[in-house]
Amino acid sequence: MRFETRLRPIAIVVSVLALCSTSACIDIPDRVDASAGKYLEMRDGPPRMVDGNGNYVPGWWSKFDGKFNAGDATGEAYTFKTWLHFNIDDPKYYVVAQLVVTDIAGNLAIAVSDKTTGEFYEEDIVYTFGDQISGDDAATSFTDSDTGSSIALKDGVLTFELKTDGIDIVGRATEIFDRPLIQTTAYQAGYGDLIFWGNIRLDEGALTLDGTKHTLAPGSLGLYDRTIGHKRTTMNWNYVAMAGVATDLANGATATIALQGSVDKERTKPFVDAKAFALWVDGQIFKVPQLHFDYRLNDASTRTTSPWRVHTGSKPGDDGLDMTVKPPKGRDRMFHRRNKSAELWLFERDFNQYYGEASGTITRGGRTWSFERLYVLLEDAYVVL
Amino acid sequence: MRQLHRQGCASLRAAGLSLLLATLVSGAAFASEAENVVSLQAGAAQMRHVYNGLSVPAADLALQWRRSGGDHAFVAQVEWLHFMPTDTSAALVGGRVGWSYAIGDLPVEPFGGIALGVYAADVAPVLPIGFVGLGVRKRFGRLVAEVAVDGMGSLFAIGINPRIGIGYAL
């Protein structure tokens, strides 16, 4: 056999190796200019979430009646995620639950913190390469065929029934305030997400922990998060969620307030200053240019922290927020829930939630409202997946 | 939306199936003057996720059996791949089978081949990894020394697996 002919199989192997190595090169910018998104200016929603070039249409929307066409985005299918998530701030328990669909997996997760003891109850079911969890294109209805769980948001009513071995949650809540935060954030070309971050008031609900049923207090405040999009794979953020009643310092009037916000930290890639935060006072949504999270790590290995100051950096009298989050009454540190894990090359995460009590002021239209010891959820997270 | 979900896995499944078929076909490489070589393989590996960029190193230890006839050979090995993501570790235990082709009448034999590995892991009961490799080997009587580099492909990741081996021709 000719030597050249005998070399042919090895040449084929070399070619395959070269092809494989080039496919590993994906260029993601460190930072994306967010100015085109005009994220501080509420505008009418676009006719579709993804434009004809396969890119997400960025902006903060007064409403979104457009087409949920995430399938037209040019981002890798692997990065597509959609979920419906809610929190309920019951006087005794803080409840967080979600149903998530990703390209390769589904997830049902529940985390309940006992506000008296700081004890956490958690369930986290991941269906790798399974289609047990399904959701509609608009992320308003999710079901889990394995556990029979569901979450749905229809006509301003959130209904939920989540069933696991250790925790069951069932109930109904009604959307409150004038509108949710509706925003499409564009990341690199082909990547982005459309979020609906709204607020709810519980109509009725029950929580079952290890076989013991607890009635959730009607009137408890909470939130929901509907998200659809091609997400970034390296994310590093701070997040805050809070709701409660505040008092007008001038006349003693009271109003319901809420805050939801997420800010990219330095390890996020690409970093986008998307202003994904909003405040609600007396039913009205508004944004401010910045949201700052000031805290320090007391111990880098355990990621316990000092008290947090969350503020907008506003001048006195301008619209904004300034609050301090401290450990719950009678505690010397905030309740801390951590999930630090990695699995082969598939994902890595250091996800930290802190629960504490917030006191401070919120200013809107020249009126300053004061609040004391509202239960608050904070996050410091780094996730690669 | 569901269609969009399934696209991500289709190409991997196709690649895995192709490798499996190629491996099965390699059984035809057997010849009457077959040689059996048992070798101990040791090396390292590095897998990089093509979407999220995570790059994870691993140690690799394997016991390999190669049965060759002419230039072609059937290769099978049991293997321990120990990956070391940040702050944790994950062992993959399994094996791979494959076909290799060598230019056997040179002082130092170049060879190349393909293989399909199947491993047990926490994240999935059956984790497939495909390999495409190149190497050289030299004989010292019944002893065979070899150096090889495999390209690896698995769930959303590709990698490299350099290794050395010391074998004995039975």
> What is the reported pLDDT for A1?
53
Query: Of all residues in chain B, what percent carry a pLDDT higher than 90?
Result: 68
Helix segments in chain A, DSSP class H: 3-23
* Nearest residue of chain A to residue B1 (CA atoms): A71
User: At A103, which CATH number?
Assistant: 2.40.370.10
**In terms of domains, do A336 and A374 share one?**
yes
CB-nearest to A233 from B51, B122, B157 is B51
**In terms of domains, do A216 and A279 share one?**
no
Distance CA A71, CA A73 (A): 6
Q: Which of A231, A248, A280 is the last residue of a domain?
A: A231
**In terms of Cα–Cα distance, which of B92, B29, B66 is closest to B148?**
B66
Distance CA A263, CA A271 (A): 10
Residue range(s) defining the domain that contains residue B71: 2-169
DSSP B70-134: TTEEEEEEEEEEEE--TT--EEEEEEEEEEEEE-TTSSSEEEEEEEEEEEE-SS-SSEEEEEEEE
Count of CB atoms situated within 10 Å of the CB of A108:
24
Residue range(s) defining the domain that contains residue A381: 233-385
Whole-model pTM over 0.90: no
> What is the reported pLDDT for A16?
60
- For residues A199 and A182, is the Cβ–Cβ distance under 8 A? no
Domain assignment of residue A18, yes or no:
no
Task: Report angle CA B27, B30, B35 to the nearest 5 degrees.
Answer: 130
* Number of domains chain B contains: 1
- Cβ distance of A71 and B4 shorter than 8 Å: yes
> What is the reported pLDDT for B51?
93
* pLDDT, tens only, A266-315: 999 999 999 999 999 999 999 999 999 999 999 999 999 999 999 999 99
**In terms of domains, do A252 and A338 share one?**
yes
**In terms of domains, do A238 and A223 share one?**
no
Average pLDDT, integer, range A249-254: 97
Cβ contacts (< 8 Å) between A341 and chain B: which residues? Answer: 88
User: At A324, which CATH number?
Assistant: 2.40.370
**In terms of domains, do A215 and A277 share one?**
no
Domain assignment of residue A80, yes or no:
yes
Q: Which of A231, A248, A265 is the last residue of a domain?
A: A231
Separation in Å, CA of A82 to nearest CA in chain B: 10
* pLDDT, tens only, B62-112: 999 999 988 899 999 999 999 999 888 899 999 999 999 998 788 999 999
Largest CA distance in chain A: 99
Residue with tokens 């497939």: B128
> What is the reported pLDDT for B2?
26
**In terms of domains, do A261 and A325 share one?**
yes
**In terms of domains, do A203 and A237 share one?**
no
Q: Which of A203, A231, A259 is the last residue of a domain?
A: A231
**In terms of domains, do A67 and A203 share one?**
yes
**In terms of domains, do A148 and A196 share one?**
yes
Domain assignment of residue A365, yes or no:
yes
Q: Is the ipTM of this complex over 0.90?
A: no
**In terms of domains, do A160 and A263 share one?**
no
- Cβ distance of A344 and B85 shorter than 8 Å: yes
Domain assignment of residue A22, yes or no:
no
* Number of domains chain A contains: 2
User: At B142, which CATH number?
Assistant: 2.40.160.20
